[in-house]
Structure 1
């Protein structure tokens, strides 16, 4: 018996001819009854879905998280217990570019992880940087507008970027990382990943601890200069996809060491910085990283669209033992990420195979577009809760302890009393002379074409970080101006 697979319509009817349309005679018009042609054309019209507003261009693979350390005193999360191995999916991405953008552009990289735990999916949605450009989500749409195309020219606008950054000194830390060597990693496996936000852990005793997640690359940090990146883009726009896919296909599985920084709950009231501020890091001297596991990527997707493009990550996906924090940006992302997926993929996006939990799922969400699974309530007559029909019920044993931080509801000025200069200064001072020289030049190059008054405003911010920082950028700007004049 032949193993040949028979081609069918989506309804299962066998197809006799997949080469020729049905016509009235050899030279006649097409017939509307050619349902196979109509199905094929209609599906092609619908093959594209809205791309992500940010993080549109991405690369991903499957793997495992293996826990080797012991933080059971801090969390009851089963996926973080010693010896546990959890299947997972990782998706890396650029932030600003569209689907067709080149991989080797200077940009922050997304570092999104989905862990299929026995207690539900845990998503850690971060970047390759431990901080971000802003601390208040009210400014997120404004910031992203500056990274996208100008409504009149339909071109990316350095003026918009630097106008926003120069008016937002809290961005200094992230911009310093972006313009440093780490702003252009060679491949997705040559960069760290961070949960970036402050999350929380809680144990069986109901004690809460604040936590930062770090994934340190075992492949080593390796970066390109702007010129090297431009040369690669001239040859391929898919360098990251080629590197990640090729490495895993060749059996060279990339790994990252998982570390956590843990802060006792009460310490949040004592630190000289706001530990929930996404523009700040926790000094390692105060809260040393604890090595607890290894993440390995070891399987490429079989279908990129189904398993990477339709992958949906959200900070709202947590499991017992892991919680959120008062981080304003995190609080907003808990809503906005899941909401984006419902718009882009549909109401039941978490029923798609790549997003589907690998544990039993019971809920009372009802109907909606593309409900192909019926009820998940646990009993056919239970479609509301509470009920006496044997439907799924709540489990008080997984109740998260209450947050102890509170205050009066108001629109607090997030810039008042905030030190936006010390941590960028510490980062600047850690760099070697060569690294600082590239930082200054990368920053100056990104300012080309920006009006002078905006540049002056930005330089005033850098002077507050360090006079050497501002002067270094000024020297690089003069060098670029001299080179430009010599070429004219």
Structure 2
């Protein structure tokens, strides 16, 4: 029912580096202290239809009234060596780490207690990027994270300008010694007459090896990689489904069926086979609302991906019986 009532997740795997120069893989979790509150699709359509900024307005007014929203900041911590033998790829953005293996550790509270004074300066010109980190926190071999480290800064240069990091909303709160100079719309002293290259003999800042990260061991074969081979994409969605209450499951079925209403039947059959592999009750619940016979889906769920694509292709698909067209018992 608004930004205050949802959890946040890093999704990506980052790393902590401790005082002994040891690396640990981590995932961040931000647990709302306001409780999870949701709308149905019908409620959301009605509310957003009346006020498309309803979630933003709710957050702004809560802060303005002193009802500051808070989130528990937690991390999951995995020893570096565990990544080589863990049951799933810990750097796969689509996978979670079971809390039984790596429990949440609370490290603090995040509180939002001040609204922006100028929306354009503080919000429109804000430039968040995953490459902005503080000492002790670093990255991981997460492929999607690696792409975002490169792409966000490039997007900011296009949207705001090459000197976006010098804007008040984005600049560091302490002095920064760098060799970033010039560029369109440079609006500060541009480091005066200091040289803009390194190393130099002019007393400019230099690298400090004390802050280097520990080496990262990399091994393996360079080859074409098919993420579908040997990668279980059904166990974790099934486990999440089984954690849901009956009401949550019913809402899930309704949301998916509504979204798939206009999809060709052969694509519905293909997707239902995936749901069925996660949990037969998952596939059955969606199939019932789509008026399709789940008994005809079960054989599709046992096929390989290639066989499933072939069976549900436009050339080969023969159609499924629907619940309303099923013969009566004993007929």
TM bucket (normalised to shorter chain) is 0.7 to 0.9
Determine helix, strand or coil for the equivalent of 2:121: helix
1:432 has 2:242 as partner: no
User: Residue 454 of structure 1 aligns with which residue?
Assistant: 267
**Hey, what's the Cα distance between the residues in 1 that align with 2:9 and 2:71?**
11
- TM alignment of 1:165-180, pairs within 5 A: none
3-state SS, counterpart of residue 258 of structure 1: strand
Q: Distance in 2 between matches of 1:476 and 1:262?
A: 41
Residue of structure 1 equivalent to 2:2: 187
Residue by residue over 1:244-266, the C-alpha shift from the partner in whole angstroms, topping out at 9 and shown as x without a partner, is: 11001111100000111101000
Corresponding position of 1:215: 30
Is 1:445 paired with 2:263?
Answer: no
1:392 aligns with 2:190: no
Q: Per-residue deviation at 1:478?
A: 2.3
Q: Does 1:310 align with 2:125?
A: yes
1-structure distance, mates of 2:80, 2:155: 32
Kindly indicate whether the alpha-carbon contact (under 8 Å) linking 1:421 and 1:464 is maintained by their aligned counterparts in 2: yes
| 2-structure distance, mates of 1:201, 1:278 | 18
- 2:172 maps to what in 1? 357
The 2-side partners of 1:467 and 1:193 are apart by 29
- Within 2, Cα distance between the matches of 1:263 and 1:206? 15
Distance in 1 (CA, whole Å) between partners of 2:213 and 2:144 is 21
* Cα distance in 1 between the residues matched to 2:14 and 2:218: 14
Once the two structures are superposed, residues 77-108 of structure 1 have per-residue CA deviations (whole angstroms, 9 ceiling, x without a partner) of xxxxxxxxxxxxxxxxxxxxxxxxxxxxxxxx
What is aligned with 1:199?
Answer: 14
> Secondary structure of 2:291's partner?
helix
1:370-417 deviation per Cα after TM superposition (whole angstroms, max 9, x unaligned) = 1122434xx724221111111111111111112123333333222211
CA contact (8 A) 1:364 1:375 kept: no
Task: Give SS of 1:371's match.
Answer: coil
Q: How many residues align?
A: 295
Cα-Cα RMSD: 1.7
* Secondary structure class of the residue paired with 2:77: strand
- 1:405-442 per-residue CA deviation (whole Å, 9 max, x = no partner) reads 33333332222111000000000111122211111111
CA deviations over 1:422-465 (Å, ceiling 9, x no partner):
00000011112221111111100011211112111111111111
Match for residue 181 of structure 1? none
Aligned-residue offset at 1:349: 0.6
2:15 alignment partner, SS class:
strand
Alignment partner, residue 135 of structure 2: 320
Q: TM-score of the superposition, structure 2-length normalised?
A: 0.86
SS of the counterpart of 2:61? helix
Return closer, same or farther for 1:239/1:381 CA change in 2, 3 Å cut-off: closer
Q: Distance in 2 between matches of 1:433 and 1:211?
A: 32
Instruction: Give 3-state SS (helix, strand or coil) of 1:273's partner.
Output: coil
Deviations 1:147-204 (A, max 9, x none): xxxxxxxxxxxxxxxxxxxxxxxxxxxxxxxxxxxxxxx0101001111111001012
Which residue in the other structure is 2:84 paired with? 269
Q: Deviations over 1:213-242 (max 9, x none)?
A: 111000000000011111102211110111
Q: Aligned to 1:414, which of 196, 215, 227?
A: 227
More helix by share: 2
* Alpha-carbon contact 1:440-1:473 (below 8 Å) kept: yes
Work out the CA distance in 1 between the residues paired with 2:185 and 2:159.
13
Q: Which residue matches 2:216?
A: 403
For 1:434, what is the secondary structure of its paired residue?
Answer: helix
User: 1 or 2 for the larger relative contact order (CA 8 Å, sep ≥6)?
Assistant: 1
Greater share of residues in strand: 1
Are 2:182 and 1:367 aligned? yes
Give 2:107's match in structure 1, choosing from 289, 292, 296. Answer: 292
